[in-house]
Amino acid sequence: MGQVGGIPHQYLIHKQFKKNKMEQLLVINNGAFTKAGNFRGYTATGKDIHIFPRQLESIGINATTKIDFPLYAIATDKTYGARLDSKTGLPVAYLDGSFTMTRRTALSVFKSRADIKSAISEERTLVMEIDHEVNEFAKALSFATPTEEAMSDLQANSAF
């Protein structure tokens, strides 16, 4: 279900996961589904995390599934704007009166420590392999030792 080589598909295509982004690796020890159908999980240190239902569905979990904790997640703090009133089109403030809110939101969720380690390793290994190929290509173009500028130019023209 939504997997490529044992790695949840959601992780492989998630465009917001970047090495330099402020991602957080979390171990979720408990939680519950909300009335809206989302999942609110908690770590042993009290951090909370919002997980969309489709993310849990991609690993075979839904509101009726007994969850075998822990779950593992890659998360980031995301800021959301206020929803618009359906009649007036004007923003509706949150309970605290603000028009934005920030919450820790899952980018990807995994059932096991092995799955999260594999997914992260795969992405980082792919980046290293691409860097190696770019380096080899630069050497083939007679750059004795590719300069940082030459490498930057090659990477800038890369499809990645």
Looking at residue 79, its pLDDT comes to 93
Please, is 11 exposed, middle or buried when counting C-beta atoms within 10 Å of its C-beta (0-12, 13-18, 19+)? buried
Instruction: Evaluate if pTM is beyond 0.75.
Output: no
**Proportion of the chain above pLDDT 90, given as a percent:** 63
Phi-psi region of 2 (alpha: psi -120 to 50; beta: other; left: phi over 0): left
pLDDT of amino acid 91:
93
Q: What is the pLDDT of residues 75-107, one digit of tens each?
A: 999 999 998 999 999 999 999 999 999 999 999
Residue 90, pLDDT score: 93
Is a pLDDT exceeding 50 seen at residue 5?
A: no
Average pLDDT, the chain: 83
The C-alpha angle with vertex 159 and arms to 12 and 138, in degrees rounded to 5, equals 120
Report how far residue 3's alpha carbon sits from residue 114's, in angstroms, rounded to the nearest whole number.
14
| Buried/exposed 49-67: b ≥16 CB within 10 Å, e otherwise | bbbebebbebbebeeeeeb
Question: What is the pLDDT at residue 140?
Answer: 79
